[in-house]
Amino acid sequence: MRRLNIAPVRAALALGMALAIWQSVIWLTGVPRFILPGPGRVGMALWDNAPLLAEHARFTIVNLLTGLAAGVALGVATALNLALSPGARLMLRPMLIFAQAVPVFALAPVLTLWLGYGAASKIVIVMMVIYFPVTSAFFDGLMRLPPQLADMAQMMRATPLRRLFLLQVPHALPAFFSGLRLSVVYAPFAVVIGEWVGSSRGLGYLMLLTNGRGQTELMFAALFVLAGMSLFLFTALEQMAR
C-alpha cells in the first residue's frame, strides 16, 4: 500500500519541480513567448484547444496502436515460424538481418510516396519499428530453452508444436516483453516522423502547422499530449509485463 501511494506522489513532485524550473528559466532569461512559452500559457492553450487536440490525437493514437498491434502480431508469427522450422531460419534470418540494417525512419518518405498521406503510411512505419526488435527478441528467447527442459521435452516425446507452446513460449515471454518495451519507446517517434513527412492530420502534423504559424503555445500543447500518450503506452506495457 505504501509503495502504491508513494509512486504518484513522487511523480507529482518531479513534475512540479520541472514546471518550476521551466518558469524560472523564462523569468530569468526573458525569452520571448514565441520561442518558449511558459507552463501557464501552454496549459491555457491545452484547455482552449482541447477539441482540436483531441481530434488530432485520436488520429495519431489510432495509427500508433494499429501499427503496434500489427507489428507485434507479425513479429510473434515470424518468431514462432523461425523457431519451428529450420528451413524458415535458413531463408528468413539473413533477410531479417539485412532488413534490420535499413534505418526504418529513413523509409518514411518512401512509404508516404507508396501509401499516400493517409493513415496507411503511418501504420506501416510504426509496424516496421515494432516488428524487428519484437521478432529478434522473441526468437532469441524461444531458441534459448534451458538444456534440462529440452531434455525433458525429448524424454516426454513432445511434438515440436507442444514443446513450442508449453515450454519455449512461456520461457521466452520475458525476452518478448523486453523487445516490446524497447520498440514501444520508438513507436511514437515513428508515427510523428510519418506525419511530418506527409499528413494532413495528427499531432505531428499539428506541431508542424502551429510551428509555421508562430502558435508556439499550441505546438507545445501538442507536444505534451504526445508525451502523455507515450507515457501511458509505456506504463500500460509495464503493467501487462508483470
Give the integer Cα–Cα distance in Å for 37 and 49. Answer: 16
Q: Which of 160, 199, 156, 183 is nearest to 71 (CA)?
A: 183
**Least distance (Å) between residue 89 CB and another protein:** 19
Residue 201 touching another protein (CB under 8 A): no
- Stated length of the chain: 242
What would the x/- binding string for another protein be over residues 119 to 158, using CB under 8 A?
A: ---------------------------xxxx-xxxxxxxx
Residue closer to another protein (CB basis): 55 or 151: 151
> Rounded to the nearest 10 degrees, what angle do helices 216-241 and 50-84 cross at?
40
Per CB under 8 A, the list member of 12, 18, 173, 231 interacting with another protein is 173
C-alpha cell at 137: 527478441
What would the x/- binding string for another protein be over residues 203 to 242, using CB under 8 A?
A: ----------------------------------------
Give the integer Cα–Cα distance in Å for 65 and 119. Answer: 12
C-alpha cell at 37: 512559452
**Least distance (Å) between residue 142 CB and another protein:** 14
Residue closer to another protein (CB basis): 173 or 236: 173
Which residues make Cβ contacts (< 8 Å) with residue 198, sequence separation at least 6? 109, 112, 117, 121
Query: Which amino acid, residue 73?
Result: A
What would the x/- binding string for another protein be over residues 95 to 124, using CB under 8 A?
A: ------------------------------
Which H or E run contains 75? Answer: helix 50-84
Per CB under 8 A, the list member of 53, 163, 175, 192 interacting with another protein is 163
Per CB under 8 A, the list member of 58, 93, 162, 213 interacting with another protein is 162
At 158 the three-state DSSP class reads coil
Q: Which of 193, 187, 172, 85 is nearest to 132 (CA)?
A: 187
Number of residues that bind another protein (CB under 8 A): 20
Residues engaged in binding another protein (CB under 8 A): 146-149, 151-159, 162-163, 166-167, 170-171, 173
